[in-house]
Chains A and B, each alone.
Chain A
């Protein structure tokens, strides 16, 4: 059909009265990380579940690696890997046993499953813990192991549903570098996230979804242009305000925006350098600001600028039962 590795056309998926997906379309080329950005209940997980052949769409069509997910789900399953929102690993098996089991279920021979398990455990840096039962693992280690299990079949496309939700910042960085490493080796990755910085860090292209439909799409830069990018924000004592307005004008070449309610001034920042420049000029003028900082746009900013409303958390879409056991 096309060279797109994922092709979604006008997919609708309803749960009773609720439309979790409402005319969703999405396509992208192989070899990239595509980031799906949206609040809880926007339909991210439902879309992943349709593409991973766990859910049939109510209407519309979707292909993965050129294969229709409804017509031939078995063929799709040989090409994909899935890591859901919660580490689906067995606590009472060792790390190695967990990954090997998934390898065997990809129809690998015992020897090949063992060889690849060593390879992925090495790559995710869990070799030292490989023969310990998973119940002794930290949350971050479990997520990494879950990722290892999804990699063992060497899938062409990997679906990662909020791969860093609920884990500590250090593990988050580990998983980021793992994902970047994977895509360098030729895997295509579709990941969902609620964090703009995560999509910004990882994804070559980002789709913003809300209420089951795509509301904006582009590179991280394009999206940031849409929301205005980062800003330097500062407040200064009342009597210094006019001096500082002139100073900011000289930096940005434009009038700063001033929030009349609290006197906070802001100018667009192309990088952190803008902040340093403003700080240096303030120092030269011997003005000490009450508060100064570089503020990056957040998911809320994206939503505000695109939809005119803030991201409403936990709105439409069915919640799956709470995950208790790991």
Chain B
């Protein structure tokens, strides 16, 4: 039999950064394969937000859309699409918590943690593969939105920028959800626990309605919380300044959205990596 350990000729990358990127690539591919080979998973992950889009537009659109703050956009669908994309992206990030707890419970994380691989690769591979899925679903939402009447009022570049902001937020929120998953360690708990931050953030926001209709105390929260900031930045970019609350500019909300994304990442990236090191302890 040959030597017990791998000789240098059999290994490839020696730089730590190169190894980390390779490990992230390997894990991302593993997770993406699951989505591709279990197409029903992706199908149902897509049907639900599309259903949301259709229901909100055709059921609520008639009454909500007639509110004076929204009526100026002509049709509710223009108001709705940027919001519902950020809603989908935010909800979609909860899959990070679910996927991690599944791997924890199946003993896969134990195997990974016993391997000489980059410590951040399991989490980065998970959040990146979730970002890919999120981009696919959100792209589809935009397409369905366009089919039922959504029209952007600005330039194509601004539309792309708006989409990237949604994806940036989805990615940063995946790290929040990674921390949730690693903290609770159990899939069912993760599923319910992840909704605790999700629901107030998504519904007490400008995703579906104008925050002007909210009671004052709730409006303070709604005005400043990240989902509203994201939805406003996207509306500003897709529909122009007229879509924003009085006194705010497109540049201002876009800057605020980027700051939020950076702050969330700066807090939850190191926190999740720390929790991962101790995971399954």
Interface residues of A (CB under 8 A from B): 49, 52-55, 74, 77-82, 84-88, 90, 92-93, 97, 101-102, 104-110, 112, 133, 149-150, 153-154, 156, 185-187, 320-326
With a CB–CB cut-off of 8 A, which chain A residues contact B1? 185-186
Whether the pair A105, B105 counts as a contact (CB closer than 8 A) is no
With a CB–CB cut-off of 8 A, which chain B residues contact A102? 111, 115
Whether the pair A325, B37 counts as a contact (CB closer than 8 A) is no
With a CB–CB cut-off of 8 A, which chain B residues contact A156? 4-5
A154-B3 Cα distance, complex, nearest whole Å: 9
- What are 20 sample pairs from A and B whose C-beta atoms fall under 8 A apart? A52-B114, A55-B281, A77-B115, A77-B116, A90-B33, A92-B33, A92-B34, A105-B23, A106-B116, A107-B19, A108-B11, A109-B10, A110-B12, A149-B111, A154-B4, A186-B4, A187-B4, A321-B104, A321-B105, A325-B106
Number of interface residues of B (CB under 8 A): 38
Residues of chain B in range 33-85 having any CB-CB distance to chain A below 8 Å: 33-34, 37-38
Cβ-neighbour of A88 out of B10, B37, B108 (below 8 A): B108
Whether the pair B113, A54 counts as a contact (CB closer than 8 A) is yes
Residues of chain B in range 132-163 having any CB-CB distance to chain A below 8 Å: none
Given contacts A85-B107, A108-B10, 11 further A-B contacts (CB under 8 A): A52-B114, A55-B281, A78-B5, A86-B106, A86-B107, A92-B38, A101-B30, A105-B26, A105-B116, A321-B104, A323-B107
- Whose C-beta in chain B lies nearest to the C-beta of A157? B4
Asked if B13 is an interface residue, CB under 8 A from chain A, the answer is: yes
Q: How far is the CB of B42 from chain A (nearest CB, A)?
A: 12
Q: How far is the CB of A187 from chain B (nearest CB, A)?
A: 8
- Whose C-beta in chain A lies nearest to the C-beta of B104? A321
A86-B106 Cα distance, complex, nearest whole Å: 7
A17-B281 Cα distance, complex, nearest whole Å: 15
Knowing A86-B106, A92-B37, A323-B106, the reply to whether A105 touches B112 (Cβ < 8 A) is yes
Knowing A77-B115, A109-B10, A109-B12, the reply to whether A88 touches B110 (Cβ < 8 A) is yes
With a CB–CB cut-off of 8 A, which chain B residues contact A326? 106
A186-B38 Cα distance, complex, nearest whole Å: 40
Knowing A107-B11, A154-B4, the reply to whether A54 touches B114 (Cβ < 8 A) is yes
A110-B11 Cα distance, complex, nearest whole Å: 9
With a CB–CB cut-off of 8 A, which chain A residues contact B116? 74, 77-78, 105-107
Whether the pair B6, A80 counts as a contact (CB closer than 8 A) is no
With a CB–CB cut-off of 8 A, which chain A residues contact B256? none
A305-B41 Cα distance, complex, nearest whole Å: 55
Among all A-B residue pairs, the 9 with the closest Cβ atoms: A88-B107, A77-B116, A82-B114, A109-B12, A92-B37, A88-B111, A112-B10, A105-B117, A78-B116
Q: How far is the CB of A103 from chain B (nearest CB, A)?
A: 10
Knowing A104-B22, A105-B115, the reply to whether A90 touches B186 (Cβ < 8 A) is no
Whether the pair B23, A106 counts as a contact (CB closer than 8 A) is no
Asked if B249 is an interface residue, CB under 8 A from chain A, the answer is: no
Asked if B223 is an interface residue, CB under 8 A from chain A, the answer is: no
- Whose C-beta in chain A lies nearest to the C-beta of B185? A321
* Per-residue contact bits, chain B 174-195, to A (CB 8 Å; 1 contact, 0 not): 0000000000011100000000
A80-B113 Cα distance, complex, nearest whole Å: 12
Cβ-neighbour of A107 out of B13, B37, B38, B281 (below 8 A): B13
Whether the pair B26, A101 counts as a contact (CB closer than 8 A) is yes
- Whose C-beta in chain A lies nearest to the C-beta of B22? A104
Knowing A54-B280, A84-B111, A324-B187, the reply to whether A109 touches B105 (Cβ < 8 A) is no
